[in-house]
Structure 1
Amino acid sequence: MSGYVARVRHDDPPGDSAEFDLLVGSVARRWAEIDPLLPEPSHPRLSTYPLLTVSDESARPVATGTMRYAWYQPGEVGRTWGVPDQHWLTPIVGGPDPEGALDSLLTSWRDQMDDLPSGTGSESAALLTWPARDVCGVRPLQRHGLQPFTVLAARQRRRGVPPSLPPRDVTIRLADMQDLAAVVGLVMEEHRYEEHFGGVFIQPETAEQTRRVVARALSRPPSWIWMAERRGRPVGLVWVSPPERARWVAPLVNAGPAAYIGYGVVTEQERGAGIGTALVSQAHHAMDSYGIAVTLLNYAMMNPVSGPFWNRMGYRPLWTTWEARPVLALR
């Protein structure tokens, strides 16, 4: 928008800068009004990544965005979870006109992408995460060619469906090391389904990498993996990371302790029978008893099953990841 000036900083903004404090304060106030589960915004800091800044006519910063680049080599675990060439922006947008400030920040980000000599091919993406209830960002994000891609949803303690029993002939129990092959099989089924939505890319190494992660989880009793069986045949699971195994989610929410559900799977033939609801009910009961204040999980926006199911289970959007793929689709 006219009147804003953008620049790229490679020097750390001063820690006692009154202007940056005012910016962060304005963002904190807006977030607190929009969604009490949003955390306090972080003061912009430069480490190894450049910082975009947008200032008004009085040279006061109204937006910042830390630019981060990630490249996943063939065989790396991260290659399963997205395109290998990822360009991230972490925005902090405040001031009296956050929509205009974000628009200017995105324009500056796009200009940075245009100046890249390489690394913006078909297997690339420009990504940022925006508070789901901060609707002032929707129009500028759309104008710049970004689309909502995944949701980080939250459920507070004791919210969701009432306790539910599994269907007849179905039992639910905590998995242990003897269930390694069954758990890997269910997780790989989930991976294959998620491939339809462009967020998972199964690699030759994915099955073995999954086996190692599952084995590590099952070796730490309790596993926090609840498995449903129909007459001894595995038909679904819910995999929870309790707070001590999910420390990375703590900064994303203004409540704690926080847990994370990494997988919720029911085999295709068994969907709609109430198995998923019963699994989640058992996991919720355990987490509520454990004193977990909030549980987080991700689902793909385009997944026709996940969003409606998790909404019924008491989860609602907290953060939305927006994406332009490839990077040069950013307008």
Structure 2
Amino acid sequence: MSGYVARVRHEGTPGGDIGLDPLVRSAAQRWREADPLLPEPVGFAPDSYPLLTVSDEDSRTVAAGSMHYTWYQPGEVGRIWGVPDQHWLTPVVGGPDPGRALDSLLTSWRDQLEDLPTGTGSESAALVSWPARDVAGIIPLQRHGLQPYTVLAARPRRRGVPPSLPPHDVTIRLADRGDLAQVVALLMEEHRYEQNFGGVFLQPDTAEQTRRVAARALNRSRSWIWLAERRGRAVGLIWVSPPERSRWAKSLVRARPIAHIGYGVVAADERGSGIGTALVGQAHQALDSYGVSVSVLNYAAMNPLSGPFWHRMGYRPVWTTWEVRPALALR
């Protein structure tokens, strides 16, 4: 990376602008060209520190990244879906050679992680979310030891397979509070399967945490959880968060309004029978009627079932989260 200079800023300037507007505009142009579903890159607020910056030979800022740290205490729900010690970099990369700029930014980030006074433990990870279609970042991310971990995929309205009927002896209906035990059982089956891909870490209280979250959803006047039953036995579900409960996703995609699919589960002995397709069709009909412009969901990059299934349902990758464990395995 000869000629590129990396710096770290530990405190901001007063006011709302820290002088990175040209960089943000450059990144926005590349994002628009790569993927129309991507939002505008978010600029850096004065409190976005510590902030890494990379300048080229002409002292123009070609990359910046804010560093964030998350620690999940034992018993917190977030600990189910990742290691407890998480170090995030949020990059904005522009200029004529974004791959080179990102490479230099990641090198600077590695130096900062090494210098952390608290250190990083064996249960730590370094994570970066990068636009899936911005292919300029793939080789630099790989070069630094990061691997695809999860995918955020999106489905614009009315995309995907046409609605289909479930098998003749399967019924689909909205779940209610009386279905709590069956819903929790299916979710725990899903959690156990997802452990195989390093994205779920079951804790002693995971079942109870899952029960509490599901109970809140089922107590709503419309749960937005559809349950598939075969002769009274729950064999699958799909759990949707409508736009009023998916506002957090506004920073991920450009379209509005947005809905989020949190779970799509089919019992292991029922997979391949059309139940999953019928459940998704039911949810999509409801979302399209509700006026939802785009629905989003996450799946493990290494899950051999999720990616192919959701792609058939009309979803395609928008963001990929890259990860390396432990954090100091970052090269």
TM-score scaled to structure 1, two decimals? 0.98
Distance 2:314 2:303 in 1: 18
1:119–1:199 Cα change, 3 Å: farther
For residue 25 of structure 1, give the secondary structure of its aligned residue in structure 2.
helix
Contact kept in structure 1, 2:17 and 2:44, CA below 8 Å = no
Distance 1:43 1:268 in 2: 44
Per-residue deviation, 1:262: 0.3
> In the alignment, what sits opposite 1:32?
32
Distance 2:186 2:293 in 1: 28
Matched, 1:194 2:194: yes
For residue 277 of structure 1, give the secondary structure of its aligned residue in structure 2.
helix
Per-residue deviation, 1:58: 2.3
> In the alignment, what sits opposite 1:213?
213
For residue 38 of structure 1, give the secondary structure of its aligned residue in structure 2.
coil
Per-residue deviation, 1:224: 0.4
Matched, 1:120 2:120: yes
C-alpha distance after superposition, 1:274-305 (max 9, x if no partner): 00000000000000000000000000011010
> In the alignment, what sits opposite 2:185?
185
Distance 1:239 1:125 in 2: 28
For residue 80 of structure 1, give the secondary structure of its aligned residue in structure 2.
helix
Contact kept in structure 2, 1:10 and 1:46, CA below 8 Å = no
C-alpha distance after superposition, 1:238-285 (max 9, x if no partner): 000001011111111000100000000000000000000000000000
Distance 1:16 1:102 in 2: 22
Matched, 1:111 2:105: no
Per-residue deviation, 1:128: 0.7
Moved more, 37-46 or 87-96: 37-46
Per-residue deviation, 1:116: 2.2
For residue 276 of structure 1, give the secondary structure of its aligned residue in structure 2.
helix
Per-residue deviation, 1:328: 1.2
1:203–1:46 Cα change, 3 Å: farther
For residue 314 of structure 2, give the secondary structure of its aligned residue in structure 1.
coil
* Equivalent residues in 2 for 1:274-313, closer than 5 Å: 274-313=274-313
Per-residue deviation, 1:39: 0.2
Structure 1 residue ranges (4+ consecutive) displaced by more than 4 angstroms after TM superposition: none
Aligned-residue RMSD, C-alpha: 1.1
> In the alignment, what sits opposite 1:43?
43
Distance 1:173 1:29 in 2: 44
Partner amino acid for 1:144?
H
Contact kept in structure 1, 2:16 and 2:46, CA below 8 Å = no
For residue 250 of structure 1, give the secondary structure of its aligned residue in structure 2.
helix
Partner amino acid for 2:284?
H
Equivalences, count? 330
Partner amino acid for 2:62?
V
Partner amino acid for 1:82?
G
User: Where does the alignment leave 5 or more consecutive residues of structure 2 unmatched?
Assistant: none
Per-residue deviation, 1:48: 6.3
Distance 2:236 2:17 in 1: 52
Contact kept in structure 1, 2:236 and 2:276, CA below 8 Å = yes
Distance 1:322 1:142 in 2: 9
Distance 1:2 1:324 in 2: 26
Distance 2:288 2:308 in 1: 22
For residue 83 of structure 1, give the secondary structure of its aligned residue in structure 2.
coil
Matched, 1:9 2:9: yes
Distance 1:206 1:221 in 2: 26
Distance 2:161 2:272 in 1: 16
For residue 3 of structure 1, give the secondary structure of its aligned residue in structure 2.
coil
Per-residue deviation, 1:12: 2.1
> In the alignment, what sits opposite 2:262?
262
Contact kept in structure 2, 1:68 and 1:88, CA below 8 Å = yes
Distance 1:212 1:255 in 2: 32
Distance 2:211 2:17 in 1: 48
Per-residue deviation, 1:115: 1.3
Contact kept in structure 2, 1:85 and 1:119, CA below 8 Å = no
> In the alignment, what sits opposite 1:148?
148
Identity %: 75
Distance 1:49 1:218 in 2: 40
For residue 286 of structure 1, give the secondary structure of its aligned residue in structure 2.
helix
Per-residue deviation, 1:16: 4.4
Contact kept in structure 2, 1:5 and 1:54, CA below 8 Å = yes
> In the alignment, what sits opposite 1:101?
101
Per-residue deviation, 1:78: 1.0
For residue 161 of structure 2, give the secondary structure of its aligned residue in structure 1.
coil
